[in-house]
Chains A and B, each alone.
Chain A
Amino acid sequence: MSIDQPAHRVVPRSRREFLLKAGGGFGALALASLTAKNVLAREASAVADPLAARPPHFATRAKSVIWCFLDGGPSHIDLFDPKPELSRLDGQPLPDSFGRPVTAMGRTAYTPLLASRRQFRQHGQSGTWVSDWYPEIARHVDEMAVIRSCYADGLNHVGSVCQMNTGSILGGRPCLGSWAIYGLGSENADLPGFVVLADYPEEPPGGNRNWGTGFMPATFQGTKFREGESPILYLAPPAAGGQRQRAKLDFIQQLNRRHRQERAEDDQLEARIAAYELAYRMQAAAPEAVDLKGETDQTLRLYGIDQKETQRMGRNCLLARRLVERGVRFVQIYSGSGSKWDAHSNVEGNHARYCRESDLPIAGLLADLKQRGLLESTLVIWGGEFGRTPMSESGNGRDHNPYGFTMWLAGGGVRGGATYGATDALGLYAVENKVHVHDLHATILHLLGLDHEALTFPHNGQDERLTMVSGRVVEAILS
């Protein structure tokens, strides 16, 4: 056999079938999919698509999630959990009856208590307590279920952010968003099903592990949107050498179709042909999704995009709404990305700033979702990796507190106006109706129609699940 002899002959037996499946080329298919809401694109793929939308385990209201993650740990006792007793004991040591908690900084087990300087007031029909740092969010308390008795296992940021996302303080497990799209797929084939947004260039501690899939296939990982018109890595062709992409793509598919003809039995080859089509569609769909030009001034104001302090978080909140509108399953927004809420000193100055940055945008998001009828089908979550100690640090700051802190949920399936659980008199430990991170995860999955005990993935001999070997749905906050 000579090296110059053609090794394979062309057998054009399935060409017609192929054209039916794959469309006449990128352009034709892309156009079709954009206009026909992805139906054609879905049908074009001969292979089962792991991200195809799937029904939940049971009927439910929430279809998507927007999770505002206050990175660094917001102070529950200055925001949602007023403690008159703490004001009374201001400046005194932690009473012996509380024991000596292990704290991240060690010394803060012995430092004086620090009263909150905030004014708390009851809001809405429900009379939910909110401090004066969150005046805008306070208008929406009747949509919110406030859980004051959360607790977690980690002491430091990386382990705690990791646990809040994946259930474990040790890395290597899939995060909540990945479990959600593993269970439910996504409604939009042209956008990632799980998107992460951050307001600052610094990453949350642990970086992409927090939206990674651990032992699950990468298909289910979160995509962190980058700033600017091209939100996904390598979405845009580079300036040099990336021109005339369309013709190149058509040529690649021509090569792939010929290759496939002689390997008709292999669905993977077809799947990759479809993946190139999806990549091409994404190049149009993702910039469209992040382009705010079509939004009215009124909407931009609603989210605070017209103001310097609120424009970062506001933009991300608006993006989240646009993504959810387009069928994206899970959106996570980091507020103060890079542990900015971590007020070891000067909690007043620190939180005043980050509350100001997040209050109007999150309130705007709730209002906007509501007015568009999307709040019914969208679960909004607010919280950080832990709360903060009643003991002071550096005189006017607070240390990490994983023993008791507040999170709230709003929207799809949540009992609005509820306040659930309690911390002790100082806000140090959760003591009543305690809700562990696994319970919170079980509840969020439940609100999405997924049974946390049944949603499993086999790995190294175990059927792994998000809640590991525990987790209990907090029924009291369900509507």
Chain B
Amino acid sequence: MRLVAPIQSRVNNRQGGCLVAVAAALLTCSPAVANEKAVSPHSASHAPAFHNGDWPFRPPQRPTPPDVADASSVINPIDNFILARLEGAGLRPSPLADKLTLLRRVSFDLVGLPPTVEQQAAFLADDRPDAYERLVDRLLASPSYGERAAQFWLDLVRYAETDGFKADDLRPNAHKYRNFVIRALNDDLPYDRFLAWQLAGDELDPQNPAALAATGYVRLYPDEYNAANLEQRRQEILDDITATTSLAFLGLTMGCAQCHDHKFDDIAQADYFRLQAFFTPVVARDDVPDASPEEILEYRRRLADWEAATAEVRAEIDRLLEPKRQQQREYGLGKFRQEIRDAVAVPAGERSAYQEQIARMALKQAEPKDKDLVAKLSAEEKQRYEELQAKLKEFDPVRPSPLPTLMAAGDVGRTAPVTWLLAGGDWHKPADEVIPGFPAFLGEASAEVGSPTTGSESTGRRSALARWLARADHPLTSRVIVNRLWQQHFGVGIVATANDFGAQGELPTHPELLDWLAVELVDRGWSLKHLHRLMVTSATYRQTSRVDLSPAEAAAAKERDPQNRLLWHARRRRLEGEAIRDAMLAVSGELNPAMYGPSVRPELPAGMSRSSAWPPDERPADRQRRSVYVLAKRNLHYPLFEAFDQPDMHHSCPRRAETTTAPQSLVLLNGELAIAEARRWADRLLSARHHDLLAVISGAYREAFARAAGDDEIEAATQFIHQQIRTSGESTPEAATAAAVADFCHALLNANEFLYVD
């Protein structure tokens, strides 16, 4: 029989590595376009000691930090590695940034918020030699740290709270996965456990609600639950999970091997499907309680009592509805092909694993809701139904309220469906059967999947994958994650292509440093906070971002390392949309620091698409929560985030683009958020500073830019405010001043100094 339209032959006629001149010019000349490949590879003279043919597929060994000629600026071993390369290239590091610049930088990097005036004063007043280290410890201990650090992870796993596709339905419990990530990072959950729980928390720690919430990772694929071609949909989901897992945890582009052996890396198509085999038994689980074992036990006991008490009433309700239910289910199943209907027709306990997966997907669509059935009852039946419902209601006082549930994943049972190597990656061209296994090029193709534990309804495949990834000597896991942390603090990873450690990726600028950090992570119990601390307390991190060298030195440095890949100065970066919004709320004083919970819905501009726009939260305070809590909707991005390069939530995003566009200016100039926060900020400043304009101006500078205003700046601001007062058209001097100061504050929120971090 004919299935979908013939799929194009999947010959790989890709122009390997060939960028057209236009595109190449665009990517290398324009710093406005940040992309993984936008950073041109360092020149041959900077080439690392070994070729990446072997690297990074052997376990990292801890190298000895190299000696450097001038050790006076070394703070920790990171600096030895950086300095050695700089000295080798005849370059010098830049001087350290001043205290306030550093404070602002490290605050945005670790907690995603600007330092308050009090924090600025306290840090300036702290003369102890380890004042900076104490600051870093305070920031890492702050709950805001997890809210900041989570965003990188959420980008990587293409986190969203809706399905995408046309319906873009809400996933009501998706936020619990996000909250798991924030909590885990705040608790410094060791990274090996962090990743293992996401892949297989249900198998590894089935009593632990946090581990179960973590399996939400497996559910983050875009989905169309009402697809007609379920077999294709199932395969697309598996491909999505396989590609994302490979990118996020392994830093490998194994998705390229879906249709054919990898063109550039030694990844066979079989490797791809062996990796996929760990996930083929997966089913969506929306019934997993978000509760402790004790709570679950208690709930089940009370539920059983209620069920016993209401057995008769419920049985009669069932008898009334059942004929309609069957009719409606049959009608709903009519849209599927015969094979799918056949799978559903097999009684539940007798289906094969594959039939069970498909049947569940079909029934999710076809199973009618009770209220729709009631509408189909005769008048007489309906009356009886209502009587029964009333009777049932009498038992409500002893009915336990349902436990909250998670968006979780599980296996279809103890037996996995067959995993097929698909010819050309095409779902209806199964070729060979494959079993779970690790990429052959990493040295060991076969996976040891222990037999499932007694009582478990799971194959144990995902925990086998998790155990392998979490091995201390895994060649990629630790390197890939420390590289991501490095990118967060230094702008570009040691391997610039953070999701591609393969041959098509960039060579590492400092391979020994990467290995040193990787071993350090494992030796310190996979503590991410320890690595953050090491990085941000290094002298390398503390350099100024200004090119503060003599003209001759600056010219030489720019010639030898124009991209600053050797880190002879700090890299200035633009805030992400989320951080811009948080910073605006922070300076205005309106930021609501409440943590966790379901997502929030800030106001949207008028005229957004009717079908996808959300109604804003009723309580204004809810609209002023941190950006990480704003509803992540695949088909409608919050306009400010969208303008500032929020990823599209469909693919793993290892590093955000950093574009500079006119719509960004419009959203800050004319968007309701910036204007409203400027107004609130102005009102707060005016009342706190008793309407003393000079105090208002210098206070605003400190809050927005974490520095004092210069005399010329105070003068310019004063002039501007007076000019705005003159032209305000307000009826009272107070109102005119308030409007003018709001304009001044609004201008500060638009200033480059607000949007960039030195």
Contact = CB atoms under 8 A, between A and B. Distances in A.
Interface string A40-67: 0000000111100011010000000000
Given A50-B26, A50-B33, A241 B752 contact: no
A234 B666 contact: yes
Given A102-B228, A219-B661, A247-B720, A461 B166 contact: no
Interface in A208-253: 208-209, 212-215, 217-219, 223, 226-227, 232-238, 240-245, 247-249, 251-252
Contacts of B504: 461-462
A102 B662 contact: no
Interface string A193-218: 00000000111011111001111011
B610 A201 contact: yes
Contact of B727 (A3, A244, A254, A276): A244
Contacts of A213: 648
A9 B728 CA distance: 32
Interface in A421-450: 436, 438
A157 B166 contact: yes
A170 B236 contact: yes
Interface string B119-130: 011001000000
B58 interface: no
B100 A50 contact: no
Contact of B751 (A259, A266, A279): A259
B32 A456 contact: no
A100 B609 CA distance: 38
Contact of A268 (B247, B609, B660, B675): B660
Contact of A458 (B35, B100, B637): B35
B634 A205 contact: no
A262 B710 CA distance: 14
A373 interface: no
A206 to B, nearest CB: 6
B222 A209 contact: no
B669 A459 contact: no
Contacts of A55: 22
A334 interface: no
Given A271-B32, A470-B8, A207 B337 contact: no
A263 B572 contact: yes
A182 B497 CA distance: 21
A110 to B, nearest CB: 10
Contacts of B739: 241
B589 interface: no
A7 B663 contact: no
A55 B6 CA distance: 36
A243 B22 CA distance: 41
A104 B228 contact: yes
B5 A153 contact: yes
Given A252-B747, A265-B547, A275-B661, A403 B5 contact: yes
B686 to A, nearest CB: 15
B1 interface: yes
Contacts of B698: 4
Interface string A338-362: 1000000000000000000000000
User: Chain A CB within 10 Å — which of B25, B100, B256, B335 has the most?
Assistant: B335
A1 interface: yes
Contacts of A462: 14, 253, 256, 504
Interface string B664-683: 11110111100110110000
A217 B672 contact: no
Contact of B32 (A208, A219, A256, A436): A219
A70 B173 CA distance: 37
B227 interface: yes
A223 B643 CA distance: 11
Interface in B1-27: 1-20, 22-23, 25-27
B628 to A, nearest CB: 20
A461 B639 contact: no
Interface string A298-340: 0000000000000000000000000000000000000000100
Contact of A217 (B12, B34, B256, B652): B34
Interface residues of B, number: 145
Given A212-B648, A217-B659, A218-B645, A233 B675 contact: no
User: Chain A CB within 10 Å — which of B1, B236, B660 has the most?
Assistant: B660
A469 interface: yes
A1 B124 CA distance: 7
B99 to A, nearest CB: 7
B648 A209 contact: yes
B605 interface: yes
Contacts of B8: 436, 438, 468-470
Interface string B15-49: 11111101101110111111111000000000000
Given A9-B710, A258-B713, A203 B612 contact: yes
A20 interface: no
Contacts of B708: 2-7
B9 A470 contact: yes
User: Chain B CB within 10 Å — which of A3, A47, A203, A271 has the most?
Assistant: A3
A164 interface: no
B615 interface: no
A9 B708 CA distance: 11
A57 B751 CA distance: 39
B748 interface: yes
A452 B456 CA distance: 51
B30 A47 contact: yes
A100 B2 contact: yes
A183 B729 CA distance: 48
B19 A202 contact: no
A201 B606 CA distance: 13
A387 to B, nearest CB: 12
B582 interface: no
B436 interface: no
A269 interface: yes
A101 interface: yes
B710 to A, nearest CB: 4
A213 B657 CA distance: 12
A455 to B, nearest CB: 6
A172 B675 contact: no
A217 to B, nearest CB: 4
A247 B726 CA distance: 12
B669 A282 contact: no
A291 interface: no
14 contacts: A3-B120, A3-B124, A4-B698, A7-B101, A8-B707, A50-B659, A105-B335, A203-B611, A214-B650, A215-B651, A238-B670, A258-B712, A272-B665, A469-B13
Interface of B: 1-20, 22-23, 25-27, 29-37, 98-101, 117, 120-121, 124, 164-166, 168, 222, 224, 227-229, 236, 247, 252-253, 255-256, 259, 264, 334-337, 497, 499-500, 502, 504-505, 545-547, 554, 558, 572, 574, 605, 607, 609-612, 634-637, 639, 642-643, 645, 648, 650-654, 657-667, 669-672, 675-676, 678-679, 698, 702, 707-713, 716, 720, 723-724, 727-729, 739, 742-744, 746-748, 750-753, 755-756, 758
Interface of A: 1-10, 47-50, 54-55, 57, 99-102, 104-107, 151-153, 155-159, 170-172, 182-183, 201-203, 205-209, 212-215, 217-219, 223, 226-227, 232-238, 240-245, 247-249, 251-252, 254-256, 258-260, 262-263, 265-269, 271-273, 275-276, 278-279, 282, 338, 402-403, 436, 438, 451, 453-463, 465, 468-470
Given A252-B751, A461-B497, 20 more contacts: A3-B708, A6-B709, A47-B31, A102-B2, A155-B229, A171-B634, A172-B648, A172-B651, A207-B609, A215-B648, A227-B607, A234-B670, A241-B675, A247-B723, A268-B658, A454-B15, A455-B20, A458-B37, A461-B253, A461-B264
Q: What are the nearest 6 A-B pairs in CB distance?
A: A461-B253, A172-B650, A158-B166, A279-B665, A470-B8, A106-B335
